[in-house]
Amino acid sequence: MTETRGRLANRRIALGITGSIAAYKAIELIRILQTEGADVRVLMTPSAVEFIGTLTVETLSRHPVDSDLLSLQGDGRIGHIAAAHDVEAIVVAPATAHWLGAMANGLASDTITAACLATSVPVVVAPAMDGGMYSHPATQANVARLREFGYEIVDPENGVLASGMTGQGRLAALTRIVDAVVEALDGAPAAVTLPAAAMPAGFAAQPVDSTPAESAAASRMTAPSRNDLAGRHVVVTAGGTAEPIDPVRFVGNRSTGKMGIAVAEEALDRGAAVTLLLGHHSVEPPDGAHLVHVETVAEMQAALRAFTPPEGPLFNILIMAAAVSDFRPRHVADRKLGRGHGLKLELEPTPDLLAETAERVKAAAGAHGRHPVLVGFAAEVGDLDRASEKLRAKGVDMIVANDVTEEGSGFGTDTNRVTIYATDAPPEQLPMLSKREVAELLLDRVVVRLGGTVRPDTAGAADNAPNPEAPVSVEAGR
């Protein structure tokens, strides 16, 4: 778990490890950075991988190691480019003579040089090598060049080296390196982050705090941002569930998945890693999302449970836009039922997945109350009065309610008129908008709850609309 106090509390740091014998010390550096509150993701050169492997590093950092220049993350982004944009500082420790030379000349032949070239965040470099190698004019020229780039160099120390000889080449004391990172970040505002949780490969969870006091403080920030969900993992449910009656028929609903898919697209555009738990749908899901196809309530429940282990949720934001069936046949026939003399179906209620997930998330959050932002949808018929009760009963932060009988606001429409109910604000009616615009305004509010910024042009829009959750109907399963 990331410490919430410390000089690097809520900071996202990339640690680059290159192939020096001192690479083993980087393991301890990860722990110290974490103790200071940082969420550390690691980039390694292939030779560093030869020295210390990746298993320990991945286990400690709780992120996959990026050591392959051509590897894609689960969200489709190139790993080192994602790191370059998602972190607040890069520290390269230990940095070999070869790496210093490559960096000084802009040769992006490993993930660390590539990330450093692509980033605009502070870079701290701690060289480690044989004393003769360090004092060589070539190395000194490379170090000088890196200083010209504005990189902070933490000089190696004098002492006994791996060769048994004495010289200036020992990796600096780890506390000096950490101090340099703190100093490099001094003055830059910290992102608000969640306890780091182990993520499915390719995803990095950033801690969230949804306490009302911090939300209120966050809402005073108005700097525009189009990348305000970078480093966040958003789980979106979309589409409708289908409960089998027999091998060809099911109890389903009219959801097309449009609203949830619009939310997923908007989150991707804002830099998030997105997992889409997708039921029946009739529009294309976005390319960049990690898709988990589900058919039944039980399958969606299993997927949600996988993302909410007892140690803590594996996402920063959950948006449940799917139309989850409220009933399912108590018995499922294993053969196609004939027309015969008609059919009497006995339906049993399904579990409330949103309420259950909120409970699991809050149990994991414990006494400090920090948890991801949880958003449900409510498809109502007529007035929306029940939405505020659902907000309370399901234990979520927001409910987005709409009247599915209103023209332009039901299933399959491209538009929606919603009212957003939140635990920390009065109900907010949005006007009739496209589902994408609804998604945008909703995520603006979610970003505020995360402690981020909201774009001034969309802050505080008033008035209404989206999504699915459907009346049960019995349809042919085609």
Q: Using the rule CB under 6 A, is 324 a contact of ligand CTP?
A: yes
Among 116, 379, 446, 454, indicate the residue that binds ligand CTP (CB under 6 A). 379
CA distance 171 to 26: 10
> Which residue is listed with tokens 């002492």?
159
Could you tell me which residues are beta bridge partners of residue 246?
249
- Candidates 77-85, 167-175, 375-383, 412-420: pick the segment binding ligand CTP (CB under 6 A): 375-383
Smallest distance, Å, CB 399 to ligand CTP? 7
Instruction: Mark residues 265-304: x for contact with ligand CTP by CB under 6 A, - for none.
Output: --------------------------------x-------
- Tell me 282's DSSP state: S
- Running DSSP on this structure, what letter comes out for residue 78? B
Please identify which residue in 68, 295, 352, 406 interacts with ligand CTP, judged by CB under 6 A: 352
Nearest residue (CB) to ligand CTP, 10 versus 402: 402
């309420």: which residue's tokens? 355
CB of 471 to ligand CTP, least distance (A): 9
Q: Does 377 interact with ligand CTP (rule: CB under 6 A)?
A: yes
Minimal distance in Å, beta carbon 331 to ligand CTP? 19
Residue 156, φ and ψ in degrees, nearest 5: -70, 165
Strand ranges (DSSP E) for 113-195?
123-127, 152-153, 157-160, 166-170
Q: Is 361 in the site for ligand CTP (CB under 6 A)?
A: no
Kindly state the number of chain residues that form the binding site for ligand CTP, as judged by CB under 6 A. Answer: 15
Residue indicated by tokens 């450093």 = 116
Measured at the CA of 278, the angle between CA 276 and CA 283, to 5 degrees, comes to 100
If one asks whether residue 322 binds ligand CTP (CB under 6 A), the answer comes out as yes
Report how far Cα 163 is from the mean position of its chain's Cα atoms.
44
Which one of 45, 113, 296, 350 is in contact with ligand CTP (CB under 6 A)?
Answer: 350
233/220 Cα distance (integer angstroms): 24
Q: Is 105 in the active site? A: no
Applying CB under 6 A, does 229 fall inside the site for ligand CTP? no
Of the residues 10, 142, 253, 416, only one is catalytic, namely: 253
Among 326, 397, 403, 440, binds ligand CTP (CB under 6 A): 326
In the set 121, 125, 354, 438, which binds ligand CTP (CB under 6 A)? 354
- How near is the Cβ of 437 to ligand CTP at its closest, in Å? 20
Q: What is the DSSP string of 284-353?
A: PPPTTSEEEE--SHHHHHHHHHHTS-TT--S-SEEEE-SB--SEEESS--SSPPP-TT-----EEEPP-H
Taking residue 187's Cβ as centre, other Cβ atoms within 10 Å add up to 6
Nearer Cβ to ligand CTP, position 49 or 345?
345
Q: Give every CB contact of residue 465 below 8 A, 6+ residues apart in sequence.
A: 400, 401, 402, 409, 415, 416, 417, 418, 419, 430, 432, 433, 438
Site for ligand CTP in 419-478 (CB under 6 A): 469
When asked if residue 353 is in the footprint of ligand CTP (CB under 6 A), the reply is yes
> Residue numbers of the site for ligand CTP (CB under 6 A)?
297, 320, 322, 324, 326, 350, 352-354, 376-379, 390, 469
- Annotated catalytic sites, by residue? 253
